[in-house]
Amino acid sequence: MECRVLSIQSHVVRGYVGNKSASFPLQVLGFEVDSINSVQFSNHTGYSHWKGQVLTADELHVLYEGIKLNNVHHYDYVLTGYTRDTSFLEMVVDIVQELKRANPNLVYVCDPVLGDHGSMYVPQNLYPVYKNKVVPVADIITPNQFEAELLTGKNISTEKDAVEVMDLLHAMGPDTVVITSSDLPPRLGDNFLVSLGSQRHVRPDGSRTTQRVRIEVPKVDAVFVGTGDLFAAMLLAWTHHYPNDLKTACEKTFSVMHHVIQRTISYAHELAGPGRRPSPPQLELRMVQSKADIEDPAIVTEATVIS
C-alpha cells in the first residue's frame, strides 16, 4: 500500500531547500510526494542575489481545490516548513483540518520555523498562528530550543526543563516532539550538540506512556541551508517505519543527517581549497550522492532513553 505525502514548502531552482530537500529522500524511501511550492526562488537566500515568486494563500487554495476536484486529495502525511505569511499559514491549517476529516489517521509533520539563537527571523505575527492554530493540529513537530521555548513560554536550562517543555508541547497537541538542537551541555564534549525527543503512546487499555530520548550529534563548522527540511522529512519517514520506537527513528534520522552533512562538507572543502571557507554554492547539500545513506544509513548516532 503506497504512502502519499503532501509537502507544502519552499522551492529553489538551484540547490536543495524545502521541497527539494524533502521530496527526493522521501521518494527514495518509497513515499509518493505531491509538492506545492510556497515560494519559487532561483536559489536560497544565503546567496548574494535571488529572484522569484511567493505563493499567496489564495493561490494555495486554488491549487488545493484543483486536487480536490479530481478526487486525488487522499494523503497519509502533510509536511510543512518555512513560511512568512500568516494568511498562507492559516490556509495550511484549513487544508490539514479538512484532510484529517477525510482521513483521521493522517499525520501532520510541522517544522515550526520561527527563529534561532534568541531572535525571530519571521514576522512576529506568525508566532500566535503557530502557537494557537498550527501546533494544535500537528502530530510531529521539530522545533529548535528557541522555538520550543517561544511556543511554551518556558526557558530550557537543564534536561529536566527540556522534558517539561516537551510535555507542554504534547499538551498542545503533537504526540511526537523533537528539539533538534539545544544549548544544553553535551556529555561527549564541546564538539557535540544535544537534541532531545519525546513520543506519547496510548496503550491498548487507554493509558498513556511516553518515551524520551537524548541524542548528541557532532558539531560542524559551517552553515547549511535545507538541513531542517531534510530532518523533518527523514523523521516523517523513519517514524512511519518505526511508529512506536522513537529511539530507532531518531538514530536513523540523525545518522542520515550526519552522512549527508559530512559528504557535503568534504566536497565543499575540496572545492574551496586549503585554508579557504566554502561559499554557499559549494555548501549545497550533496543529496543525490547520499542516496545509499538515505536508503540504509549506517548508525553513527546513538540515542539514549532518558525516561
- As annotated, the active-site residues are 229
The DSSP call for residue 196 is E
d(C-alpha 265, C-alpha 170), whole Å = 35
φ, ψ for residue 73 (rounded to 5)? -100, 45
The DSSP call for residue 190 is T
Look at the alpha carbons of 114, 115, 121, 127 in this order and tell me if their dihedral is positive or negative. positive
The C-alpha cell at 239 is 517514524
The C-alpha cell at 108 is 501532520
Greatest alpha-carbon pair distance for the chain in Å reads 61
Angle between helices 227-241 and 19-28 (to 10 degrees): 30
Q: What is the DSSP string of 51-108?
A: -EEE--HHHHHHHHHHHHHTT----SEEEE-----HHHHHHHHHHHHHHHHH-TT-EE
